[in-house]
């Protein structure tokens, strides 16, 4: 089934919003620290059972989905008409927003994945020989920040898609009008017309 540009836009926005929501909830659910339980020569950290790690990975997964659909939508052959990548990247505004969207997606992925993995490691390795440990959790604020950057990335993919649509229109205008813009006349056509007038 062929997808339209509007459907791609809705998918990018939908996945981006889901990534944002899961990231914000993960940040709100994350405990400030665990509870230290002293043992013989060790401290065992007990963490409350909360969905921070699962929500963090879900936020990251939906960010990847939004980015993948965003990339796919830029080069998708709408109505069976494909455009060479070189024609899209000739537009300087498209090139700028494409690179910004890629960078923002990478930054959001790092901000979401780093605290999620850190939180999971804290829970897996919860036995400490340092008797003064305060049972740390992942750095506060990173998941929330990653959620907002993830939403920004989705919006930037939508802007890049609009600019790609403009570049597509320009490309097809050039293909459909091989004589150039504004009805340009080549010198060969002009000379041939002048010769024909002289013969007449």
Tens of pLDDT, residue by residue over 87-123, are: 888 888 999 999 999 999 999 999 999 999 999 998 8
pLDDT (tens digit per residue) in 130-146: 777 888 888 889 999 99
Helices 52-75/5-29 angle, 10° precision = 160
- For residue 35, the SS3 value is strand
Predicted local confidence at residue 193, as pLDDT: 54
Structure confidence at residue 26 as a pLDDT band (50, 70, 90)? very high
Residue 52: which of 127, 139, 110 has the closest Cα? Answer: 139
């Amino acid at each position: 089934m062929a997808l339209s540009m509007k459907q791609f836009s809705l998918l990018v926005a939908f996945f981006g919003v889901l990534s944002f929501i899961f990231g914000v909830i993960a940040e709100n659910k994350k405990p400030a620290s665990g509870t230290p339980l002293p043992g013989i020569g060790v401290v065992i950290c007990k963490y409350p059972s909360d969905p921070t790690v699962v929500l963090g990975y879900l936020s990251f997964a939906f960010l990847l989905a939004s980015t993948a659909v965003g990339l796919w939508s830029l080069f998708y052959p709408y109505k069976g008409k494909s455009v060479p990548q070189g024609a899209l990247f000739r537009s300087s505004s498209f090139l700028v927003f494409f690179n910004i969207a890629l960078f923002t997606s990478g930054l959001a992925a790092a901000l979401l994945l780093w605290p999620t993995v850190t939180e999971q490691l804290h829970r897996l390795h919860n036995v400490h020989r340092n008797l003064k440990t305060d049972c740390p959790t992942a750095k506060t604020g990173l998941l929330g920040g990653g959620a907002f950057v993830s939403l920004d990335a989705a919006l930037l993919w939508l802007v890049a898609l609009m600019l790609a649509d403009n570049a597509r229109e320009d490309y097809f205008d050039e293909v459909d009008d091989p004589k150039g813009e504004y009805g340009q006349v080549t010198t060969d056509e002009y000379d041939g017309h002048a010769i024909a007038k002289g013969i007449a």
